[in-house]
Structures are given as structure tokens and as C-alpha cells.
Structure 1
């Protein structure tokens, strides 16, 4: 029951995030915002999220996982309502131009500062209650909610945008409210063990090992490249294929759904069944991700886009839980909460750099963001494989 509640809490936020990413480019184009303003909005809120996730993970000993999870879900619910309402003001002409951009940026950043409590609370709960040899499977059980959210969110957005571009944003409030009630009523309170300090430096300070750092950087690169793709894909479809804002949201949603379906397949079919070791999964998944982005960069037909997104889903579904598991298994126990906070902040880390980098590359050529993502993944795949092989 505990895993199911944590799964649903992450699912609600994942659906919301995938809906947000699906409709944001279309919303920005409809409200007269530029690609750069959309990118800055995504990047700035991700920066706040990354800092927040790391900070929240450090106070779990004091407040407990359940309480912080409720804080995160409450912040997400209220923040989504305010954010969607501000977009309504922009689309109806009450706000516009720089004023709209600034107030949306502030609202999204404030929302991110509170909702960033959700991932480290949920993942930290799982890390604390799971055995080390089952860590990858345990993490996968809850983080697969992110993939299911990507399955459900894009088609939900694609259907609901026919009733208005803001309808998908308002619809996710129901999910987050239900998740909050479930956590409040059904999730057992679980406090992490607070070990006494054994030296002057404290229990959770000092450097982590080089291999753990590389695994964390690898996770960040996964989401950096994903952010570059998501930032540019809808704009690419509008500018290259000539579709309108609603059609772009629908096509982007379909492509993301394909990716998420394949990601779920490998998580449930391979990762959670312990059919391959995390090290092996990383060595296979990282090159697949590089290949997927390069196919997106050169594709000419929609069917090839879907093939690339399927490969992308396989790579993401295998790589993220494996990297997260190795990072938490290879760190000292007293640094586990710190590493967990870093891991859960890696999606935000990627979205800090990815959107503006993608917008800059898109300015030169509409296919450059996908090519750059492929090159980045090729480099990080080489580093990860070399590190894993050298350590046996």
C-alpha cells in the first residue's frame, strides 16, 4: 500500500508536468511570448526546483517524509491553479508582453520552490525502507510513475486542448488533490533514522566519490537532453510542418506518449524483474539515447519520429533508475540523504540548462537542438561505460 501511495503522489505530479510541457510552447505562441521567454520560464523554475529539492532533502530527519510530501503536493496544487489563472489573464488580454512574462515567471518559480519537496520525500522514503540489493527495483517502482505520467499526460492534454489550451492545466488539480488526501489519510509516518554525529564535520557533509558524482551528472544529462527535445519539438512542428498551436500540442503529446509507453515496458519488464544489473542497463541505455536524438535530428517523416521516441523511452526507462540506484548504493550511509536529494534534483538541473541551450541552437537551425542532445548523450555514454568497465 505504501508503494502505491507514493507511486500515485509522483504520478499526479508527473501527469501535471507532462501536461505543462506539452501545452507550454502552444500557450507561449498563443500569448505572444517568444521561444526565449518560454525557455527562460522553464529554466528559471527548474533552477529553483533543483535548489529546493536539495534543501528539502536535508530536513527530512527533522520533519519526516510524509509531512514534506504533503507540503510538496499542497504547493503543487495551489501553484498550478495560480499559474493557469495567470495564463488565462494573458490569453484574454488582461496581461500581456513583459508584464505577463514576469508575473508568470515569478508564479512558476514560487510554485517550484514548494513542489520540489515531493520527489526527495517520496524517493527518500523508498531508499530508507528498501534493502540495498533491491534498491534499483524499489526506486523503479515509484519513479515509473514519471513514465506513466508521460503516457497519460500528453494524450490527456491532446484531448482537453480541444476545449481550450488551459483546460489541461486546470484538470490536473483533481489528481493532485486526491494524491494529497491519500498521503494525509493512508501513508504511514516514517521518520528517517537520525544517527548521532561522530566527528566535527557532521553526518552529511564532505565530498562524494568520483563515481557517484559521474552517476549524478549522468542523470542530469539525461534530463538536459530531454529538456532540449521537449523545448524545441512543438516549435519544430509548427515552423517546419506548418501546424497550428493546438495541432502542435497534440502531435507533441502523441510523440511523448510513445516514449513513455516504451519506458514503462522496460521498467516493468526488465528493471523491476532484476533481469539485468544496473551497470549493464546503463551501458546499453546510454548509447540508445544518443541514437534516438540523432534520429530525431535527421527524421523526415512522422513515423521515424515515433521510432526515435520509442528508442528514447527504452533508454530513459532503463538509465534513470539504474543510475539512481548505483549512486545511492555506492555512497556512504551518512551521505545517503544528500545523494538522494541530488538525484531527485537532476531533472530540474537538466531543465535549467536545456531550454535556453535549445532555444539558442534552434535560432541557428531547427534541427540543431536534437543534434546537440545526441552529441551530449554520446559523450556521457562513453564516460559512463568507461567508468563502469574500469571499476569492474
Structure 2
């Protein structure tokens, strides 16, 4: 392995790139429900748009994961951020045309799928594998790696908080305002990476990064747990805006603000977990998974009961804390078991697993919500309970070290 002691790792810069990409994504989330109704798209069409993005994540994550080792981190991030910026700028234009009635129906739906789904989805697929492979490459012990992975998760939580606040606040100036702000945020990330991030020396690159099978006995228990966790999350993430509007009887204008509060609670929970609890706990990945999944399962149970705005926000906060504790265990655990030339492939496999959960879950949850608002919440809670039982009982997670 090359000597990395002479050059200080740029983990904060890579983590900042993750933050800016997710900030752009999370700024859109509070307004996606009212936006869909404003432009005349059905709930299932928004679910299909998000599912299209997930399909692109599944299709491209392993490619990006291996390229981050063969091309280097900077070229991958520059390409990804450039595509994301262009896609979301055009998405803002399409949404604006939809709001004026210039583009409607099938044409508008197709534009949403191609830009927010295919374009942005393929771009965002590159960012987490790049960050995870980089952290795995520059950290040698489990504690440092867990802290690094939790930093990636923590900035996602911060982005959820900041994006919720920004999306809700900017929506007060009109639904188009946050849509214009998103490509600006992504452009800042593109310029930062292009100017500041170092390219690796050629000898640090891996010419032929190894593939990692999803059935590899070192990885599959973690992948199964992650798949279940993110599927459960996917069943409630898209419908949060609809739940808030329908349970509390809010207008479209008010709904753009309150889901922001719900996502703020989820982001605050994730940040508290990954910025405070995980670094201070010293828990190994199996323990993080066991504790986090149990807490998240309790949050889903609370969400199924209509306890008003306070109960809804409390449930989402609990889910955020639980998943925030579990996620570093899921991402860091298998990295301790594979070789350096496998890290990019593993990171891509984790990204593809996460994306796979959002292929079906958003569309299924919006369809089920049309049948009964309680059904997708119950399904998500049942999945979380199964995952909790799995990480408590499987031998891979019953030892302190992964």
C-alpha cells in the first residue's frame, strides 16, 4: 500500500461535496408534494420519478465505485457534479413551464423523469461511493473508519436539516424559488471540487478495481440489513408531505412549510446520532446496527398512530436517530473485511443496494397511500421490525467486531 503519511487526507473536502449534493436534493424534498399538485401530476407520477432516479443509482453505482479507484476521486466528482447541476437547472425550467401551463400532462411527466430521475439520479450515484471508498482507503483502523463514515452520514443529516429549512423558507417566496437555488448550490460544489481537490498520484490508483459480489459472505449480511433499513425509510420518505397535509388538514401553501419541519426532525435526529452518539459511543458496527435498528423500529410504531403534529415530528425524529446510529455500522462494517482493491467495488455495491430500495418503495408507498394512508407506514414498520430481528439474531452481528 502506498505511503499516505506525507499528504494530509482531504476527508473534509470530500465530505463537503457530499453535503452540497444532498443539500440540493433535500431542498427539493419539502416542496415535491405541493409542487406535484401545483403542476397537475398525480402522487404516483412523483413516486415514479423518484423510482427512476433509484434505478439509475442501481445501474451506475458499481461503475462509479470502481471508477473512483481507477480514474481517481476528482474526475468522478467533477463529472457527477456537472451533470447534477445541468439536470437540476433544466428541471427548474421544466417545473416553471408546468406551473404556467406551458407544458402539462405526459410531456411534463417525461421531463420530470428524465431530469430529476435519470439525470440527477445517475449523477448522485457517484458521490457516496466516492466518499466511502476514499475514507476506506485513508483509514486503517475500525474506530477511525466508523468516524469517517459517520461524518458522511452526519453531513447528510445536516443537509436534511438545512435543505428542509431552505426549501420551506424559499417556498414562501414561491415554489419556483427553491428550484432555482438548487443548481446554484450544486455549482458551488462543482467549483470547490474542481479547484481544491487534489488528484491522486498515478501509483495510488487501482488499474483494475475488483468486483464484489452481493452474495459475498463478508458483505451480504450488511447489505441485507441496509436494504431493509432503506426500504423501510423509502416507504415513508415520499409520503411525508401527503401525511402532513392530510392528517393536519393543511392548504397547499402551508404544506410546503410543515413537511420541512418533519424533515428537519429527521435530519436533526441523524445529525445527533452520527455527529454525537456514534463518535462518542465507541461501538463496533454490529452494535451500531443492533441499537439503531431497534430505535428506528420504535419510531415507525409511533408514526402509525395519529398523535397530531407533535407525535408525527417525534416519530420522525426517533426514526432519524435510529437510522443515523445504524448507518455507519452498515457502511463501515464490511469495509474492514475486504482488500484495498475491493473497496471501490464494495462502495458501489452499497450505493446500488441503497438505490435498489428506492426503485420500488416510493412508487409502492404512493400507490398504497392512495388505498389507505396507514398502509405504507405499517409496511415500513414491519420491514424495520424484520431488520431488527435479523441484526439481533444473525451470527455476523452477534460478535463485537465485524
Aligned counterpart in structure 1 of residue 108 of structure 2, from 94, 100, 106? 100
Deviation of residue 382 (structure 1)? Answer: 0.8
Q: Please list the CA deviations of residues 146-198 of structure 1 after superposition, one character each: whole Å capped at 9, or x if unmatched.
A: 1110010011111110111121121122322222222112112136845688x
Give matches, 1:324-363, under 5 Å. 324-363=331-370
CA contact (8 A) 2:27 2:166 kept: yes
Give matches, 1:37-52, under 5 Å. 37-52=45-60
Q: Please list the CA deviations of residues 242-262 of structure 1 after superposition, one character each: whole Å capped at 9, or x if unmatched.
A: 212221221111011112112
Deviation of residue 344 (structure 1)? Answer: 2.6
Q: Residues of 2 paired with 1:230 and 1:223: CA distance?
A: 10
Q: Residues of 2 paired with 1:237 and 1:204: CA distance?
A: 43
CA contact (8 A) 2:226 2:330 kept: yes
Aligned counterpart in structure 2 of residue 125 of structure 1, from 122, 126, 134? 134
Please tell me the root mean square deviation across aligned C-alpha atoms, in Å. Answer: 2.0
CA contact (8 A) 1:65 1:124 kept: no
Cα 1:207/1:380, change in 2 over 3 Å: closer
Q: State the TM-score, normalized to the length of structure 2.
A: 0.91
Q: State the TM-score, normalized to the length of structure 1.
A: 0.93
Secondary structure of residue in 2 paired with 1:59: helix
Q: Residues of 2 paired with 1:318 and 1:140: CA distance?
A: 8
CA contact (8 A) 2:214 2:223 kept: no
Where does structure 1 lack aligned partners over 5 or more consecutive residues? none
Give matches, 1:85-164, under 5 Å. 85-108=93-116, 109-133=118-142, 134-164=144-174
Aligned counterpart in structure 2 of residue 169 of structure 1, from 145, 156, 179? 179
Secondary structure of residue in 2 paired with 1:58: helix
Of 21-30 and 204-213, the range deviating more from structure 2 = 204-213
Cα 1:196/1:59, change in 2 over 3 Å: closer
Secondary structure of residue in 1 paired with 2:385: helix
Secondary structure of residue in 1 paired with 2:304: helix
Q: Residues of 2 paired with 1:168 and 1:188: CA distance?
A: 31
CA contact (8 A) 1:137 1:271 kept: yes
Deviation of residue 389 (structure 1)? Answer: 4.8
Of 303-312 and 272-281, the range deviating more from structure 2 = 272-281
Number of aligned residues: 388
Report what 1:304 is aligned to: 311
Aligned counterpart in structure 2 of residue 248 of structure 1, from 247, 255, 258? 255
Q: Residues of 2 paired with 1:343 and 1:148: CA distance?
A: 21
Of 208-217 and 248-257, the range deviating more from structure 2 = 208-217
Q: Residues of 1 paired with 2:146 and 2:198: CA distance?
A: 22
